[in-house]
Amino acid sequence: MEADYAVIGGGVVGLSVAWGLLRRGKRVTVLDGDDGSFRASRGNFGLVWVQSKGMKQPRYASWSQQSAAAWAGFAAELEDGTGRSVGLQQNGGYDLHFSEETLYATVAQYDALKDKLGGNYPYEVLGRNALSREEPHIGPKVAGAILHHQDGHANPLRLLVSLADDVRRLGGTVLNGKTVTGVSKPDAFKVQCSDGTTVTAAKVVLSAGLGAMELGPKLGFKAPVRPQRGQVLITEKLPKLINRPSLIARQVDEGGIQIGATNEEVGLDDSVTQPGLSGLAAEAIAAYPALARAQLVRSWGALRILSPDGLPIYQESPEMPGAYLVTCHSGITLAAAHALFLPDWLEGTAAAPDLEVFSEDRFPVS
């Protein structure tokens, strides 16, 4: 047998899991897609984010918190291994509001969630004046913000490159340009690719993002994931303008400001649209008026991977035991949990995190 694990999907989710397994001494082969694949790992917004997650399922909130808390150590270990920073900043983040009504409606929801989390939900409400002290460039249309101290952001492209490098450094194999066509389990798992490549492994992790729509059912999963498009804009590199990230805009470690993001149900279409981009620009200028003079250098669309309730799916296949579905919308936020905690679940150790609420049992039989 070539590997203890074959990981199908070489994005941030698959590579995080692979990295975590490798540092426990497992032999891992990662099968990565090609240039035609939809790659959320190369188009996302880079937030390491806690607030607003799991409003209806506190375990999702706490799982995100566990990952956010582990991120600094994860980033430091990656930096040691690769000599490259992933640009992690965890100084809190904002939910910006243009009306007090929506601000306090959200605060009420956070209060309820905070109770369910035993009080571990450190946020504060900043009115206009307090917010202006923290963010001198905030615009007059912003009514206030919720500052959550467990939020932050990273450079997702550097994370992807660092993970790919470190997986190889740790002895893992990454096969690029592979399209997996099927998985059989005569004895061990046998993963077949369209170019004739086969990989045999004792276990299989399916972390192929939207690729799970087609591959999931072949491995016995429901895999009810769908694409949701997000368009984003990038400005020229600018002097410091934004201190903390929000869902509207963040200034990355290299100086550019990333403006995001639309939420569009348009199927497997990752193109940008003029109304989408101009809507984003208008909202960003309402939040930070100085952005009206910034030059835009790039825009793109990417596809989120969403389950029906927006929560991750962690499921062992009932038809093919030893095959696991790992998929989520927030692969950057959960990267540390996937690297550091998920291997215990895959290995079935006593330290395995409780991921029961993320099983496919919550979905009706299709």
Partner 1 sequence: MKTDSPFLELAGDAPRVRVWFDGQPLDLPAGANLAAALLAAGVQVFRHTPVSGAPRAPFCMMGACFECLVEVGGRVQQACMLDVEEGMRIARPHEAEADHAEL
Q: Which residues bind partner 1 (CB under 8 A)?
A: 236-241, 253-255, 290-291, 293-295, 297
Q: Which is nearer to partner 1, 213 or 290 (CB)?
A: 290
Q: Which is nearer to partner 1, 69 or 234 (CB)?
A: 234
Give the residue among 239, 256, 257 at the shortest CA–CA distance from 248. Answer: 257
CB contact at 8 A, 94 and 245: yes
Angstrom distance (rounded) from CA 254 to CA 237: 7
Q: Which is nearer to partner 1, 132 or 173 (CB)?
A: 132
Q: Which is nearer to partner 1, 246 or 251 (CB)?
A: 251
CB of 100 to partner 1, least distance (A): 28
Residue whose entry in the numeric block shows the structure tokens 């020229």: 236
CB of 246 to partner 1, least distance (A): 19
CB of 293 to partner 1, least distance (A): 4
CB of 99 to partner 1, least distance (A): 27
Q: Which is nearer to partner 1, 129 or 295 (CB)?
A: 295
CB contact at 8 A, 154 and 84: no
CB contact at 8 A, 71 and 88: yes
First to last CA, the chain: 35
Angstrom distance (rounded) from CA 256 to CA 266: 28
CB of 280 to partner 1, least distance (A): 18
CA 305 from chain center: how many Å?
9
Ramachandran class of 94: left when φ > 0, alpha when ψ lies in -120 to 50, beta otherwise: beta
